[in-house]
Amino acid sequence: MSDDFNMSMRKFLKQVGVTSQTAIEEALREAPAGSYEVKAVITIPELGMTHDVTGKINKDSE
């Protein structure tokens, strides 16, 4: 793949990571301690591609 492809991919994934972390932290800020199921979905509609990532986030009591 080209350098332009690699740079645009890295830029997109960085944006996903940073904005997702911020949104999750805001959502869990006032939530009680516990374990929360989380799901991220990446799509490329023009290619008919969908990629799901699931996991758990554990929020400890503060």
pLDDT tens, N- to C-terminus, the chain (62 residues): 899 999 999 999 999 999 999 999 999 999 999 999 999 999 999 999 999 999 999 998 76
24/59 Cα distance (integer angstroms): 11
Left, alpha or beta for 29 (phi > 0: left; psi -120 to 50: alpha)? alpha
pLDDT at 62: 61
Domain limits of the chain?
Answer: 3-59
Q: What is the pLDDT of residue 46?
A: 98
Cβ contact 37:52 at 8 Å: no
H/E run at residue 3: helix 3-28
Nearest C-alpha neighbor of 50 from the set 59, 41, 61, 58: 41
